[in-house]
Amino acid sequence: MPKVELTIPEHLEMQITQMVESGEFMNREEAVQQLISAGLKAYKTSGPMDDEPMGGFEDDGMMGHEDEYVF
């Protein structure tokens, strides 16, 4: 399996750590693999919005609040 190195904002790293510690995932590697897979599936389903810039990812959280995510 190919290896990928990435840098993510601290708040995302903290959320992944909390998910692993709460037992949602066995370890960080599984968490990252499953979360990326789910994100790619969601992206394929909805696709980019016409008024959304390429990438569509922001460090600010959904709804524009730094620590609030709505799914």
Write down the residue that tokens 């609040």 correspond to. Answer: 65
pLDDT: which is higher, 27 or 70: 27
With respect to residue 36, please indicate whether it lies within any of the assigned structural domains.
Answer: yes
Q: Which amino acid is at 47?
A: G
Q: What range defines the domain where residue 30 resides? A: 9-47
What is the C-alpha to C-alpha distance for residues 12 and 27, in angstroms, rounded to an integer? 15
Tens digits of residue pLDDT in 23-55: 999 999 999 999 999 999 998 888 666 655 555
Alpha-carbon distance of 6 to 66, in angstroms, equals 20
Question: Does a structural domain hold residue 68?
Answer: no
14 lies in some domain: yes
Number of domains in the chain: 1
Evaluate whether residue 18 is within a structural domain.
yes
Q: Give this prediction's pTM.
A: 0.60
Return the higher-pLDDT residue of 63 and 22.
22
